Structure 1
């Protein structure tokens, strides 16, 4: 538990971690918009593609699994997938085993886009000005923060 000094004003905006995270997220969004422009992807679409690119076999992935990995509900994910499909990057098909389930597969164009996308993380790293070890440390700390907040949410439910 952190020490709280009674003389500090913890209700100041500049003392709020949520504000710092939000400001950093918005700044990242601006950099990503610039880097993803050449790929004709939005940031959320890029995240979908990252998950699909992880499988070297490009196997079909259930929309439900994509949503879990990205922490997105189907109402948010479905329009992203429709747009990616309209752009020829993915294919959506009902599962032969379960008609309620929809699977997403990369098209050839979607798989080929991966090569061009390798510049995006490099551009982000350059934009931060951080060393690779600092980026990895920050990512690990943010993952721990997310896990702690998820646990706290579950504890209150």
Structure 2
């Protein structure tokens, strides 16, 4: 079978159907900050690796940070300082992980709200069971488990292990 295509039709077929990506006039790249991670060992011996911000209940809202435990906004420059505050550390102990959710790392932060360390989100207490069954939570939990299998803590003395 011989198909006769004109030059114009042939050009249409050979040109890819993809367009050039559009770039915004501002920075294309998000500000990537070196994340600090924390290895958590659960009572059953399971290890999870989560970001320091997630462990401390610090979520990014727009361009600012908020500590869900202390219920305060934090400027970027003071985020690490906030984590070291005695009052903040007391709240970490006051709001321990709920035992019945084990590796899902759910904190009850008040009578009606919970905080998921794995996903770094808050939710109503009545929504926790729905949340831990979501694909997003399961994916992030699996990533935390995988990180624990592959993560090697920084050796400040530069000793080889």
Band of TM-score, shorter chain: under 0.3
**TM-score normalised by L of structure 1:** 0.27
Give the structure with higher Rg (CA): 2
Bigger relative CO (Cα 8 Å, ≥ 6 apart): 1
Q: Comparing both structures, which one devotes a greater share of its residues to helix? A: 1
TM-score (norm 2): 0.26
Give the structure with the higher percent strand.
Answer: 2
